[in-house]
Amino acid sequence: MTSAASTPDTSRPEARAQVQPKAEGWEQQRTAEGRPLLQFASPRVKQPPQHFADLSLEERQTKVKELGLPAFRAKQLSTHYFQHWTTDPDAMSDLPKAGRGELVEGLFPPLLSEVRRLRTDDGNTIKFLWRLFDGALVESVLMRYPGRITLCVSSQAGCGMNCPFCATGQAGLTRNMSTAEIVDQVVAANRIIAAGELGQQEHPDERVTNIVFMGMGEPLANYKRVMNAVHRFVDPVPMGLGMSARNITVSTVGLVPAIRKLADEDLPVTFALSLHAPDDELRDELIPVNNRWKVDEALDAAHEYYRKTGRRVSIEYALIKDMNDHAWRAALLAKKLNQRGRGWVHVNPIPLNPTPGSIWTSSERHVQEEFIETLRAAGIPTTLRDTRGKEIDGACGQLAAAE
Ligand code: SF4
């Protein structure tokens, strides 16, 4: 319990430095008015070939019928892909041999080719770099924890949100990823786990249990395809991957109309708002989409998500030295959250790596502690993310990419 004597005095801004966000080593694209450019719509570029995972079960049945096969073949093919994670025609011995190769090739065009794989020493974290059909590069990160395996997926090639700390944002948005490109990251990860390539296996039936949309891109800017992918994740085996919706985290930097839409879906996913600052003055610079939807609007939408779904919301907050880590900001954040009620929200401060010479560097330990204590003293459940949390957030809403 926190005694009143140890509660930090946050009644007035302390006389600490205020570092302003700015891009380092690259120029942020700006509008004529000098605001960071935001791109909401994907450029009209060639889309990847249609893949089995782009289709709902009914669409898959229609597709196989169009190919002159009975509808039940759709279920067999679903079993191969969503349950056995295979697209190898030789493994599909329940399908007629004649024409099997062509059928499978047509339904499962390769979408991701592996460019690079980085593995931590203990083998429990693997980062993948994938090349898409048009040469665009995206990442996913696979992490083993006791009792669960999490995959951080990308939802767009590039990103249009132009956050000054983020390498992904530099080149703008290349295009939205297709539903199947998103799903195939998980299927590929399941194959790798099944092959025993992720650290020490706990049991032979292991697979991805948790998905976080915190890779490249702003998921809610690619709303329809991301939602379709979530359906593939939660649809029961073999129609989909049979995962629990609550183990899927959809994060956003604050696209308010899309948050409202998400709250109306019948999909109780975990929702995370990458806030990083409670005041518009700082957040306008740190998360440029704040120029469109302000902190209070984003928090109202997050609270509405809680009211409609009953799911507690996560607030992501990367602690950056002298930029957003002041105790008065923790107090302001707590005040804004408490104004909307109790028990609806959880704050996850994220420690950064120390980066000497960069403005994007870690808060000092005692400052982190004061920030967390201030939130807790105000009754806000707060958990410092572990260091792998930081790694997974390499692209979105977090700052590892700046390093
Ligand atoms: S931090 Fe996330 S939203 Fe911002 S530019 Fe990077 S990928 Fe996009």
Query: Is 152 known to be catalytic?
Result: no
State whether the beta carbon of 159 lies less than 6 angstroms from ligand 1: yes
Structure token pair of residue 383 = 């958990």
Q: What is the pTM of this model?
A: 0.92
- In sequence order, what are the residues at sequence separation of 6 or more whose Cβ sits closer than 8 angstroms to the Cβ of residue 309? 263, 268, 271
Set 33, 139, 281, 391: catalytic member:
139
C-alpha 403 to ligand 1 mean position (Å) = 14
pLDDT 10s per residue in the chain (403 long)? 333 444 555 555 567 899 999 998 888 889 898 889 999 998 889 999 999 999 999 999 999 999 999 999 999 999 999 999 999 999 999 999 988 999 999 999 999 999 988 888 889 999 899 999 999 999 999 999 999 999 999 999 999 999 998 877 777 899 999 999 999 999 999 999 999 999 998 998 999 999 999 889 999 999 999 999 999 999 999 999 999 999 999 999 999 999 999 999 989 999 999 999 999 999 999 999 999 999 999 999 999 999 999 999 999 999 999 999 999 999 999 999 999 999 999 999 988 878 888 899 999 999 999 999 999 999 999 999 865 544 434 434 333 333 2
Residue identified by tokens 């090739």 is 105
Residue 326 has a pLDDT of 96
State whether the beta carbon of 154 lies less than 6 angstroms from ligand 1: no
Assign 3-class secondary structure to 228-285.
Answer: HHHHHHHCCCCCCCCCCHHHEEEEECCCHHHHHHHHHCCCCCEEEEECCCCCHHHHHH
Spatial separation of the C-alpha atoms in residues 331 and 323, rounded to whole Å: 15
The atom of ligand 1 lying closest to the CA of 165 is 1
Spatial separation of the C-alpha atoms in residues 270 and 57, rounded to whole Å: 25
Residue 387 has a pLDDT of 57
Which residues carry a binding-site annotation for [4Fe-4S] cluster?
A: 159, 163, 166
Query: Is 396 known to be catalytic?
Result: yes
End-to-end, the C-alpha distance of the chain in Å comes to 37
State whether the beta carbon of 219 lies less than 6 angstroms from ligand 1: no
State whether the beta carbon of 217 lies less than 6 angstroms from ligand 1: yes
Pocket test for ligand 1, best of 161, 251, 283, 290 (most atoms within 8 A of CB): 161
- In sequence order, what are the residues at sequence separation of 6 or more whose Cβ sits closer than 8 angstroms to the Cβ of residue 317? 275, 276, 324, 333, 347, 348, 349, 350
Nearest in space to 26 (alpha carbons), one of 163, 138, 215, 129: 163
State whether the beta carbon of 258 lies less than 6 angstroms from ligand 1: no
Residue 167 has a pLDDT of 75
The atom of ligand 1 lying closest to the CA of 159 is 8
Residue 25 has a pLDDT of 85
Residue 111 has a pLDDT of 97
Residue 82 has a pLDDT of 97
C-alpha 24 to ligand 1 mean position (Å) = 15
